[in-house]
Chain A
Amino acid sequence: MPAQPDGNGLTDLQHRFAHAVLQAPLAVPSGIRHDVRPTRERRFGVYRNNVKASLAAALAARFPVVARLVGDEFFTAMALVFIERHPPHSPVLAEYGAAFANFLEGFDPAADLPYLPDIARLEWSHHVAFHSADASAADIGRLAELPPEALGSVRLGLHPAMAVIASPWPIVSVWATNTHDATPEAPAAGWTGETALVTRPHLDVLVQRLPPGTDRLVAKLAQGIALGAAAEAVSRAHDSFDLATALSTLFGAGAITTLSQGSSS
């Protein structure tokens, strides 16, 4: 490799630089002046630290409940492993962290907190909802205005910020406790699974529990299936499904934006 950075030299230099910045065990790349104090190791260390500390801080801000559950020190160590394996691919840092929940699934040191990946999924959905497209939520009163014979064939459009995360763990309870209360709390024995609904009807992101079967209803609505057929299918599969409760939860959270008649798109 040429020491003189010419056209190709710059490509080589940036290649060595980029790899050494991300991978701590790698030596300082060649091509950096070393006839000066402080040492080039310390100088290069500033870039290493800037890159990694800023990304770790971005992840900590994006996954505050995960950070609280494992503690700041553990979180930073975990984030640094994630950053090395999954560095960002876009200068838009808001897009960084989508792979964090799946990474946690396979991160052995956190294996005794099996609910951690689902908490991360909930926090990621919360973050995505914050930046998602704006849309006006529809009022449930619009359903009541429909003639009874039109109710079954109405199609409900879902808000772009809306997300549903089903979990075998009480993720909404854990999230709420660790977001609003002073002391961190893990799920107690005997707690049951919860399905989270994330919405952002206006500026604030809302998180709440979905009643049984409602996630299945949302999945059918998302496919463009009319309300009548969707409700019937979910009722057949879930004894405890209650359409009125499901609809008041979804409309109340601002999850529905449009009511339309006619064929699905």
Chain B
Amino acid sequence: MADFPWLSRSPLEHALVVGAHGARDVAPGISLTEVRNFDLIQVMARRGKGAELANAAKARFGMAAPDLPKAVSASDVTLIWSGPDQFLVLSKGGKHTIDILSQAFSQSASLSDQSHARALISVSGAKARAMLAKLSSLDLHPAAFKNGAAAATSIDHTSVNLWRGNDRPDGQPVFNLLVFTSFAESLWRTMLDSAAEYGVDIGYSGELA
């Protein structure tokens, strides 16, 4: 019988070409980085269990899960608002896998493992907002979309979870995007087209920003 190897592969494995893209006569205005190998769990409160979920989340993560469109981080986890009484748990290294979390939330929430269902793309740099402005109708000005702001929205007709992370060491903003794997390549190419005029530095990383 054939032996089926189950390898974890990025949905952007073919589309992502490491290096420079677009305008070459300028310093790259945008860094596009795919983050690989993360754990992502969707947590949704069961009917009437919203308050119970909030308590369980606080006990599990040591911080309140966001009940407004925000992303909050502790040392080993980021909780991203995705709708009323629901959030995403983003982590690395098997610390908050579905097996572990289903025990913590067994009384209050329904969980769904999205680790291999989404691609995580980090957009940063001086021109990141200018590029995203071509694709998104959200106001991403720092006054309106501060660090830690999150949104469930559509970009290029594709549903995404978008949130602003901590600024880069050079002070430039970082926008993180979670997109369904089957739409990731399409969105990636759209972003490359939008970003080309600013010069793009493309890469991938195993580390969460």
A and B co-occur in one complex: no
What is A's interface to B at a CB cutoff of 8 Å? none
